[in-house]
Structures are given as structure tokens and as C-alpha cells.
Structure 1
Amino acid sequence: MEAAGTPAGTGRTAVVVGGGVSGLLAARTLARAGVRTTVLEASGAWGGCVGSHTVAGLTLDSGAESFATRSSAVADLAAELGIAGDIVAPNPGGAWVQLPDGPRELPRTGVLGIPANPWDPEVRRSLGLAGSLRASLDKLLPASLGTTAEATSVAALVRARMGRRVLERLVAPVVGGVHSADPDVLDIDMVAPGLRAGIRDHGSLAGAVAAQRGGAGRGGGQRSADGPAGAAAAAPAPGLQKAGSAVAGLRGGMHTLISALITELRGQGVTLLGGTRADSVERTAGGWRVSSGDSAHDAGLLVVAVEGPAAVGLLSGALPDLARLRPEAGPDVSLVTLVVDLPPLDARPRGTGVLVAPQSPGIQAKALTHATAKWGWLADQTGPGTHVVRLSYGRGDARHGAEARPEPRTDDELLEAALRDASTLLSVPVTAGDVVDWDVVRWGGALPFASLGHKGRVAEVRSICAADGTLAVVGGWLSGNGLAAIVADTPKQVRQLLS
């Protein structure tokens, strides 16, 4: 049977299931190696969490709006695609954190909110004298504390080395905003790789953070939200310039990266089939068959680039050992974008945005990004007095001891919550009459959830798939949340498949 959508002729062929960032990058790597490639995407849109939407006539990012510069992976990709000149830094000013007792500037020299210096003035203002004293004991503790167990949560490490106030007032807001997860169940080795090893190298958690921050842009630095709740991708939370995170964006929005990728893939002869859902996969004598409705796509190589539960569901028939490694679905996240006519926001009252501590009363959002305060190119488009504000909802398992509150569900409920929360977080009244236009984007389970022990499960998944020899599984649920992680990991996995 001739594979539908696959060019006829000799040579290697591949089918990629999923047209998000990881799927497009996988197709690019295959095509550059001379493999005839077909990409199947269930929706009609490409790029997944790096998408776009139009609000008030503005083409805006619907998900990730920045990328972490802890490595050069995204910048290198942009250069290869000819858009390196569009890389831009966010405006200075940094972000804030909303605490139960009010807003504070978020320290800029941290990783996941963990401070490099407990006595930094911004840190001390958030922690108080007692909190900074407790955090400073970290340098007196043995380097073995928190680094010997096979797997450790973010909360366990921070609580043991720096204490409860650092965890609740700095780390929980960042982790909840970026990863929509409770730090008690988040694997530190997945969300801040190398941090525990840094404790052993530098003698303290603060020292490890300082070393990573010093290496930002050279392979270190904070793992930032660059997905849709993260920003991200991240997430993805709304991609704040969080906790001193080193991030950058693209003039015109991160979605321009997807446009450039699609243009290159079409030029390479890659077949892109949108609105084509993979219903099942099965082995054939020549490799794999992917069934989609009444059609089938045959190829020698298969790359599965969808969320973890869907990936395992597709493959568990052919690879039964994967079934026990099926991950939990990520949290449902809603992103509310408001375009408002509100000149008081010209003063950027909360810098680039606000992360919300879970215990903060009366606020349902987990993060707010003041996009026109963050990106000069966007402020130039809107002009004075007109502002773009994005609020993220859906903490998932991110309460960290806070009382559970019902999440807004419908579009109208989300708009009402966004107006109320924006008014509180920005300290400027935002009313329905100020709104020029608005939109809600929902990400159902799109954020990978790196629960405790996830690194080990990833290794098992990769081992099972590698043993097959004709299959690769890629995506944020394996590489870690965030565009930088996906861009670095996906080509590496596909090259291993080709070798």
C-alpha cells in the first residue's frame, strides 16, 4: 500500500505525529538528513503552545511569548532560520510577586525563586529578618543535605536548606506560575537540572544558584516560563521576567518562529497535513503504519511528538512496556488576554508582571504579564495608553497548603476574574469599559508535569523506544517544560534515531 501523503520513490521515509514545536523540529531534522517526511497534526494550527491569535487587530502570542537564554539553543535555531535579527530583550524593570501581605519586587538573582543571596535587599523585603537569617544557614549546612537521595522535590530541597519562608514567599509563586505545580511534588532535577550537583560543587544552595545565574546564556541560568502556562512551554505561565530569569523574545512575537519553521519545511518538501488525527499506529514489515480516518501513512521511521498520555496511548499496543509509564495529564490552563485603553498603565506599576503566591487571598490568577510593559516592539504597535495584559488561570496541583478556591470556567467567568485580578495586581482599576477587546485561550493538559521521580521515568521511556530502533518520542513531557529545553532535546533524539 502506498503511504498517503508520503512521496513515492526510494530512500528512507518518516511520519511525525504531532505538529507542535517538537514535531516541527523533528521533521526539520529528518528532512535535513534526506528523509522524506510527513507530519500529521490533529488541529488546523501548527506550533502547539507557540501559537498566535488576533485581539483588537493585534497579532499576539497565544502561548509562549519568551524563551530562556540559559543555553543558545533557541537563538541558534533563529539564526538558522534567518530571524536572529529579531531577537529582543525584555524591557528592564523586572517582575513582582503578590504575597498575602501585599506586593513585593521579585528578586532578580534567583533560580525558581531560590535566592543567590538571602541578604539581597529585595529578598530581605520578601522574607523579613528571620527569613533571611534562616536562609543564610544554608551555607553552614553539609553539602550532602538534599543531594544524596535519588529524587528530591523542589519543596524538600528548599525547605531543608533555606527554610519555609523562602519556599512559601519566593519559590511557590514562581513554581506555581511557571509550572502550575506544587513544589512539594515537582522533581527538582527536571525543572532545575544541575542544581543539586551545584550544591556539592559550591557547598550551598545559594552558591549553586549563583553559579547557574552566572552561567546564564552559556548553558546555565534559570529555567524560565516560556510556555503557555509558563513560558513555556513554557507553560505555560505568561513568561514573566521572573526571579531574575534570563529570557528573550522575538520582535513580532514567538509565533514568528513557527512561521519561519513552516516556510523552511515546505521548501524542503515536507508534507504537512493539518486536521489529520493519528487514530492508531502499528508495526509493519517495513516499519510503521499510522492510521487516520480512512487513510494510512506508511514509513520506515516514526516520531511521536504529542503529549505524554496521548503518546503512550498510541504506542502501548506496539510497545506494551510503555503502558505502566503513562504520565498524568498536565493541568488545564486558561490564558485571558485583555487589550485595554488605560493610560495609567503607561507608568508600568508592576514592571513586566506579577506572580501570585498561592496563599494570597481573593486572587484567582496565578500570574499576570503586562506585555506592553515587557516588550518595546508591542508598545510601539499599540501606542501610549493602550495596553496588553495577560492573566493565567489553572494552578492544577499548585496550592501548596492554600485553601482550594473554585476556578473560573466559562469565558464570562474568566473575564470577570481577569478584570478583578488585574485591578488588584496592577493597583489600577480595570473595568469592562476599559476593554477594547479580549480573548481566552485554553490549554488542556498541555503542560508537562515533572512529578517526583519523573527523570527516572523519562529514562525508561527513552530506553524502551531506543531499543526499537525505528521510533523516537519527543516533546516537553520528556525534555522538560520550556522552549529552550524542547529545541535542544528534539533534534538530539531524532539524530540518535537516524544513527
Structure 2
Amino acid sequence: MTTSSGEKRRTPRRPRTALVVGGGVAGLTAARDLAAAGLRVTLVEASDHFGGAVGAHEVAGLVLDSGAESFATRSTAVPELLDELGLADRVVTPDPAGSWLYLPEGAIPAPRSGVLGIPADPSDPELRVPLGRAGAARARLDRVLPAAVGAGERTVGGLVRARMGQRVVDRLVSPFVSGVYSTHPDRLDVDAVAPGLRSRLRELGSLGAAAGALREATPAGSNVAGLDGGMNLLSERLVHDAERLGVKLVTRYDVIALDRDPRRPGWMVIQRQPTDGDKTAVARGELLVMATDGPTAVRLMGSHMQDAQNYTPRSGPRIALATLVLDCPALDPAPRGTGLLVSEDVRDVRAKALTHASAKWKWVAREAGEHRHVLRLSYGRATPRRAGPSPEVALEDKHLIALALGDASTLLGVPIAPEQLVGADVVRWHAALPRTDPGHSARVTGFRRALKEIPDAAAVGAWLSGTGLAAVVADTRKQVRALLEHHGYEVAAPPGGAGTGSQ
């Protein structure tokens, strides 16, 4: 290229290296896509393993998921990635029996709903059981209330309460929200978890119709799917593929500082002084992808963004998952479907949810063997009155396992003796799920707007995309593709458009 004076103008060199901070599924996916485009990539992870909340643990000789066990089928993002990784033939759907609710009156099959436990048809006769006559009548008012009622509510609880009443919040929405998001509906930003719900309310005139419309947008068939062998295979295959593409993967790299590299274009991170005598190492890359939790991302990028402190999200909830492997023929008929969500009004159970994994997934039943059952109970219920973690999360493993045995017996309606326990394990998560409290979506919007001023950096993860593998994978690929294209790389879009949406 020449100027009018005949002088040659140098075309800026495309970046050749990239740095990814964070080794969960978002970070691994970002590193893989960057390497596939031809960059030399370094990924640093603070813990001793990759995959984040998509991992594995061994219980009674069974390799089981320690975190996420499924993905939403509302988009093609995860299936396309699985196909690229050679895992498409392992995709399986759960047993169609469905889940139950555990209410103070006892266990009932969960009513059909739109989204977030919100009934799409408040006049459905099956709602009479969980809501009672008065509660069902109040829910039906949603159809005649002006569309403006509740439209200004920012939380899921506030919106549902205004449209359908407190009983729907307590008996239908709260168990779902607590089980899936580990928070209370009054602390859940409706725009962050159900974008478009309020706009559909204004358009259609009722919350039930809006929830039903969002549910209908989900592809036909099961709403979730998993992998034969567990979702942990996704993390394992991402690691292997990243290594095949030449990604340098570094564990136990706890980043304490992020800065511009003074000697070359791009970024550098410095790790906390290792405790085992190793020297502190510096990792570099011309392009940067932050794939950490929200508070860490904002803290590290704070000095490179304007008003970064305004975008800091709240730390995620503390959760404990107790997995039990039982020799219990009485559970062979799967008396409560694939599991239960527990109402906050229940006093005789401390778990917020139970998954009967060997009833939900055929592969788990196959691996467990005859009369063996795998249960996973979730602890860490949030309430409007308690800001900190629930006391159950603080229990020692042996005490939490004992509590889980009692809770499982109550929830499933089957006596379970301690001697029937073949093996157990407790997995604890902190900040694995983002805390999507009121204002979260506004903070995410502000952060991403400020991040646009840094052309050689991107940020990904559940705190930005929304909870769930479908949202995380789609948004990660979208952000990495935009970063690469901005710097002159021609990136072929994944078939079907994976990475084009956030949720």
C-alpha cells in the first residue's frame, strides 16, 4: 500500500499470540477457537484441574459428574461443539418421567410450566393441588390484569407476585429458582435469566402467555440433554483438543496482577508466589480473554477500564452437593420420577433439590448395576431473610452425608438405612454460579460497553452470558469470533450459527 507521496504504509501485523485467564468450559472453548485460528495460546488456571463446574468425581467406583450434568437444548451451540469434538454420538436425553415437587403437604408430580416454574396456563386443573383453590383463582387473574401490572418489576419474585400472587411464587417458582439458580426469586434479576419475558408480557398481555411463548421457542423434544458417561467428557475432550492445537495449559496459576507488557504489544499476568518453591512465572499474549468469575474479571481489568467498580457483580452462592450410592431395591420403581424440587415452606427436609441420577440417566443405571441407585442432593438454599450461606453448607462431610440420607428417605418416601450406603462424596462450589441479583443485567451491559474500548481484550463466562452451558458456549464463541475478526482473522462461522446468541 502506498500514500500519495509514494511512501509505503505498513499494514499492522495481526496478533500472533493470545492469553486466556481461566480454565473452565468458557476458557477452554476460547483457547481452542483461538488456537484453531492459528494463534499461539497460553491458558492459565488457578486450580489444579480444568473444566470448572463441569468436572468428575469417583464415588463407589463410579465416575460421575461433580457439577453440571446436562445442557439446555434451546440452542444448537452445545450440540455443534460436541459434534466438533467427536462426542455427538454420546448425546442422550433424560428419562421422560419428569421431576416432582415436595411441598409441606407432601410430594406431587411437578405441574407443566412455561419458564422458571411460571405456569403457562393458570387455569390448568393440575395447579389446584399445589396452589389450592384460592391460590389457583389468584393465578388466573393474570389473564385479566392490565399488561402494565408488574411490568416494572425487576425481580422474578416481584413480577410473578404482581401478576399471579404469592402462592405461585412460594409453591412453583421458588423451588425451581432455588434448585437451578441457588437463590430466591426476590433476588433474581428477571432480565438476566429470562430476557424477553417482560417484553412478551407487554405484547401478549399476560405473564402466563409470555412464559408459554418463551417455552414454545425451545426446540421440540426434551428441554435438556446430557452425555453417556457424563458432561465431564466435554471438559476432558476440550483439554485434549486444546493440547492437540498446541495450547499451553498451565494449572495452579493464581493471577494477582494483569498489565500491559512494557516490552511488546499485548498483555501480561503475574501469578501469586507459588508455595512449593517454584519461581513466579509471567504469562503473555497479544490478545486477552478473561474467562474467570465476575468479581475476579472486574478486579483484574479494573485499572484498564473506566468506572470498573460500578460493574462488579456479587460473589456467587455457596453450594454443597452430596452424592449417595445406595444398594436399595425399593428405589427400583423410581417412586418420585427423576428427582424433586423442595419448597421453602418445607420444614422436615433441608435439601433444596434431589436428583435421582440413576433414574434420570440410563447410563448411570447401567454403570451402577442392579438395585444400585445414585442420588445427588443439593444444599445451599437462599432466602430473602438470610444473606449468607445456609448452615448445611458448613457441615463436615460426614454430617452432611448423614443429613442427606435422612432427607433422601423423606423425599423419596422410602426408608433408607445407613448400612445401604455403598459410597458417598461431597462436592462444594463457591462462585460456580453467578449471583444474578437485581441490577445484574445492567452491570453486565455496562461492563461490556466499557470493554469495547479495549480492542485487544474480551471477557466470557456465565456471569456475562447467563447460567448454563448453552448460554456460556454460545456467547464465548461469539465474543472470540468478534475479537479475531476485529484483528483481521477470517473465521468460519460454526454450522448453524453457534456463538450468535447469549442465551
Q: TM-score, normalised on structure 2?
A: 0.88
The residue identity in structure 2 corresponding to 1:165 is R
Cα offsets for 1:439-476 (capped at 9, x unmatched): 01110122101111111110111111121111111111
The residue identity in structure 2 corresponding to 1:277 is D
Residues of 1 paired with 2:471 and 2:84: CA distance? Answer: 18
Residues of 1 paired with 2:236 and 2:386: CA distance? Answer: 42
The alignment partner of 1:459 has SS state of helix
The residue aligned with 1:444 is 430
Asked whether 1:289 is paired with 2:268, we answer: yes
Identity in percent: 52
Asked whether 1:346 is paired with 2:311, we answer: no
Question: Any residues of structure 2 matched to 1:234-383 within 5 Å, and which?
Answer: 246-285=223-262, 286-292=265-271, 293=273, 294-319=280-305, 321-383=307-369
Asked whether 1:87 is paired with 2:66, we answer: no
How many Å apart are 1:384 and its aligned residue? 2.1
Residues of 1 paired with 2:296 and 2:302: CA distance? Answer: 10
Specify which of 490, 496, 499 is matched with residue 476 of structure 2.
490
Structure 1 stretches of 4+ with a deviation exceeding 4 A read 399-402
The residue identity in structure 1 corresponding to 2:239 is I
Unmatched tracts of structure 2, length 5 or more: 1-12, 274-279, 487-503
The residue aligned with 2:499 is none
Residues of 2 paired with 1:322 and 1:399: CA distance? Answer: 28
Residues of 2 paired with 1:134 and 1:491: CA distance? Answer: 44
The residue identity in structure 2 corresponding to 1:263 is H
The residue aligned with 1:398 is 383
The alignment partner of 1:47 has SS state of coil
The residue identity in structure 2 corresponding to 1:349 is P
Query: Cα 1:189–1:393, aligned 2, differ >3 Å: closer, same or farther?
Result: same
Instruction: Kindly indicate whether the alpha-carbon contact (under 8 Å) linking 1:355 and 1:367 is maintained by their aligned counterparts in 2.
Output: yes
The alignment partner of 1:392 has SS state of strand
Residues of 1 paired with 2:414 and 2:167: CA distance? Answer: 29
Specify which of 109, 114, 132 is matched with residue 110 of structure 1.
114
Most deviating of 168-177 and 309-318 = 309-318
How many Å apart are 1:283 and its aligned residue? 1.3
Residues of 2 paired with 1:105 and 1:290: CA distance? Answer: 51
Instruction: Kindly indicate whether the alpha-carbon contact (under 8 Å) linking 1:280 and 1:291 is maintained by their aligned counterparts in 2.
Output: yes
How many Å apart are 1:325 and its aligned residue? 2.0
Residues of 1 paired with 2:119 and 2:14: CA distance? Answer: 57
Query: Cα 1:401–1:166, aligned 2, differ >3 Å: closer, same or farther?
Result: farther
Query: Cα 1:386–1:400, aligned 2, differ >3 Å: closer, same or farther?
Result: farther
Residues of 1 paired with 2:65 and 2:113: CA distance? Answer: 27
Cα offsets for 1:318-349 (capped at 9, x unmatched): 33521232211111101110001000000101
Structure showing greater Rg? 2
Cα offsets for 1:76-99 (capped at 9, x unmatched): 211121211111110011111111
Instruction: Kindly indicate whether the alpha-carbon contact (under 8 Å) linking 1:358 and 1:399 is maintained by their aligned counterparts in 2.
Output: no
Asked whether 1:47 is paired with 2:51, we answer: yes
Instruction: Kindly indicate whether the alpha-carbon contact (under 8 Å) linking 1:155 and 1:183 is maintained by their aligned counterparts in 2.
Output: yes
Specify which of 8, 23, 30 is matched with residue 27 of structure 2.
23
Cα offsets for 1:285-309 (capped at 9, x unmatched): 4111111241111211111111111
Asked whether 1:469 is paired with 2:471, we answer: no
How many Å apart are 1:21 and its aligned residue? 0.8
Residues of 1 paired with 2:385 and 2:95: CA distance? Answer: 31
RMSD across aligned positions (CA)? 2.0
Instruction: Kindly indicate whether the alpha-carbon contact (under 8 Å) linking 2:111 and 2:127 is maintained by their aligned counterparts in 1.
Output: yes
The residue aligned with 1:232 is none
The residue identity in structure 2 corresponding to 1:258 is S
How many Å apart are 1:155 and its aligned residue? 0.7
The residue aligned with 1:198 is 200
Unmatched tracts of structure 1, length 5 or more: 1-8, 222-244
The residue aligned with 2:491 is none
Residues of 1 paired with 2:241 and 2:112: CA distance? Answer: 37
The residue identity in structure 2 corresponding to 1:290 is V
Residues of 2 paired with 1:405 and 1:21: CA distance? Answer: 28
The alignment partner of 1:50 has SS state of coil
The alignment partner of 1:469 has SS state of coil
Residues of 1 paired with 2:226 and 2:149: CA distance? Answer: 37
The residue aligned with 2:496 is none
The residue identity in structure 2 corresponding to 1:156 is G
